[in-house]
Amino acid sequence: MTGDRPILTTAQMIAAEQEAIDAGTAVETLMERAGAALAEAAYLYAGKMPILILVGPGNNGGDGYVAARHLAKHGVPVRIAALGEPKSDAAKWARDQWEGDVETLSEETKSAPLLIDALFGTGLKRGLEDIVVLILSRLATEAHVRVACDLPSGVQSDSGVELSPVPDFDLTVTFGALKPCHRLFPASHKCGRVVLADIGVDATSAWAEIGQPRLAPLKPDAHKYSRGLVHALAGTMPGAIALAAKAAARSGAGYVRVSTSRSIDGLPSAIVQTDTAEINDQRIGCLLVGPGMGNLPQVLTMALTSHVPKVIDADGITHLGDPERLRGQNAIVTPHEGEFQRLFGRLEGSKADRALEAARRSGAVVVYKGPDTVVAADDGRLGFALPAPAWLASAGTGDVLAGMIAAMRARALDGFEAACAAVWLHGRAAEIAGPSMIADDLIAAIPKALSLVDA
Ligand SMILES: NC(=O)C1=CN([C@@H]2O[C@H](COP(=O)(O)OP(=O)(O)OC[C@H]3O[C@@H](n4cnc5c(N)ncnc54)[C@H](OP(=O)(O)O)[C@@H]3O)[C@@H](O)[C@H]2O)[C@@H](O)CC1
Ligand SMILES: Nc1ncnc2c1ncn2[C@@H]1O[C@H](COP(=O)(O)OP(=O)(O)O)[C@@H](O)[C@H]1O
Ligand SMILES: [K+]
């Protein structure tokens, strides 16, 4: 995922900031860059609207003072309302550079068409006071455009949890790296568009937003096996494996085979049905088990005797019982919240922490699904999906994802990269398919999603 936008925790961000300071960049310089970037992004997004900037006592507020100065310089009418005096040296410096008035934030504060929230960022320790929540909510409702500095105030940066109620923002301008809250629910859905500004800190990380996949172009001498053979194992509910198999075929697998004890209606004739499970066929690029497996744990047991890469979804996850069974399996598991808890129990920490712990415990790539899907590998890589449309919450869309991952794995991407590529394409296919889509429409949209990628 080289090139994808990095994601850093608060501790990592502080370390990166310190490294820049140790290398000779003053914190005021970093703040100047952050505030200038905030001003530029707000201006590009909203134009010359009258602005109200809310500033807090820390460096998030400092960024707000800097942004105010830059916007005023460009002739934008700017007012500042402060929650209190700046406490940090850098914020005091930024306050001193601002030559305009500073109002005291109160119930009487008048709104403006553009609201910039620079109350709290990564340093938030507890929820905002009730009265501040009320004022922020009113000012956000009365504004036409709402912009958050670094992250919406009230959001815990590392977990995406709301420590107090948070209004919806249209734009969030963040600095150096994205933070987990930009991609973890519920905060992920409050940020609006997330713009990342470079402020000159080195933000390399094993955590990143899942960006557009880079798929190797099809070779002119490709044949069906080199494009990838997906072998799917059916169970008691053939409709689910049919969705997964069709999704694998539409995602570019050269050959999709379903082994089933009874014929499945409605499968495209390009998908071969067999009554034998030739799971040790060396040509298999990825085995797919779980969708519609039902109460047939012997299908899973058989899959686990094969050493080919595999995707284990749905009932397959439920029947695993112990994450240790995944070790050495070269597996990708795709649990939703309920399946995750059944397999891994109730783990501590944020969704990011839980996903990584699950990957460590099992040795598998874990695709932890939901409105904020994350993909974890046991080497510490963690991918955070872009918010996908909520209309994905529809029966069978998980089966489609499992098939897409199997196709990506069969074309020889490593497990983590295959899962990330499929999650990205699945989200885009859902956008293309639109709000009234069903799982079949999602499959039909896969070619258009793939056409967004150079492949
Ligand atoms: N990293 C970087 O490279 C760069 C980061 N930059 C910026 O710095 C931001 C982080 O700044 P920060 O650490 O000063 O924290 P910030 O979010 O302003 O708040 C801390 C203050 O709030 C207070 N406080 C906390 N919770 C509270 C509550 N509920 N209600 C009331 N008070 C509360 C807390 O006081 P406490 O009560 O804890 O003593 C403290 O005074 C970051 O988000 C980014 O915008 C840029 O400048 C460029 C470089
Ligand atoms: N509210 C939501 N917003 C975005 N994506 C969602 C939402 N709810 C579910 N999804 C996605 O839809 C898919 C549903 O998968 P799953 O729960 O396994 O459903 P099924 O078993 O019916 O196929 C997953 O990819 C999940 O991430
Ligand atoms: K903020």
pLDDT value, residue 112: 98
Residue 149 dihedral angles phi and psi, to the nearest 5°? -90, 115
CA 105/CA 97 separation, integer angstroms = 20
Query: Is pLDDT at 309 greater than 50 in this prediction?
Result: yes
Query: Is pLDDT at 2 greater than 80 in this prediction?
Result: no
CA torsion through residues 191, 197, 202, 207, sign: positive
- Dihedral of the CA atoms 336, 337, 340, 344 (nearest 10)? 170
What is the per-residue pLDDT across 148-176, written as a single tens digit (0 to 9) for each?
999 999 999 999 999 999 999 999 999 99
Has 372 been labeled as part of a binding site?
yes
What is the per-residue pLDDT across 105-137, written as a single tens digit (0 to 9) for each?
999 999 999 999 999 999 999 999 999 999 999
Closest by alpha carbon to 240, among 288, 310, 286, 284? 288
Has 10 been labeled as part of a binding site?
no
Does the CB atom of residue 31 touch ligand 1 within 6 A?
yes
Residue nearest to atom 47 of ligand 1 (CA): 31
What is the per-residue pLDDT across 258-297, written as a single tens digit (0 to 9) for each?
999 999 998 998 999 999 888 989 999 999 999 999 999 9
Instruction: Tell me the whole-structure pTM to 2 decimals.
Output: 0.97
CA 31/CA 375 separation, integer angstroms = 33
188-197, 273-282, 328-337, 405-414: least confidently modelled range: 273-282
Mean pLDDT for the stretch of residues 371-384: 98
Does the CB atom of residue 113 touch ligand 2 within 6 A?
no
What is the per-residue pLDDT across 60-99, written as a single tens digit (0 to 9) for each?
999 999 999 999 999 999 999 999 999 999 999 999 999 9
**327: amino acid identity, one letter:** R
Ligand 1 binding pocket mutation candidate from 124, 128, 155 (most atoms within 8 A of CB): 124
The confidence band for 42, taking pLDDT boundaries of 50, 70 and 90, is very high
**CA 347 to ligand 3 center in whole angstroms:** 29
Does the CB atom of residue 188 touch ligand 2 within 6 A?
no
Does the CB atom of residue 120 touch ligand 1 within 6 A?
yes
CA 447/CA 242 separation, integer angstroms = 18
pLDDT value, residue 276: 85
Mean pLDDT for the stretch of residues 321-330: 97
Does the CB atom of residue 117 touch ligand 1 within 6 A?
no
Mean pLDDT for the stretch of residues 187-196: 98
Contacts 24+ apart (CB under 8 A), 294-301: 294/235, 294/236, 294/237, 295/236, 296/235, 296/236, 299/233, 299/235
Has 84 been labeled as part of a binding site?
no
Portion of the chain with pLDDT greater than 90, in percent? 96
pLDDT value, residue 455: 62
| Angle 395-168-445 from CA coordinates, rounded to 5° | 35
Query: How far are the Cα atoms of 80, 345, 405, 415 from residue 327, in angstroms, in the given order?
Result: 56, 17, 19, 14
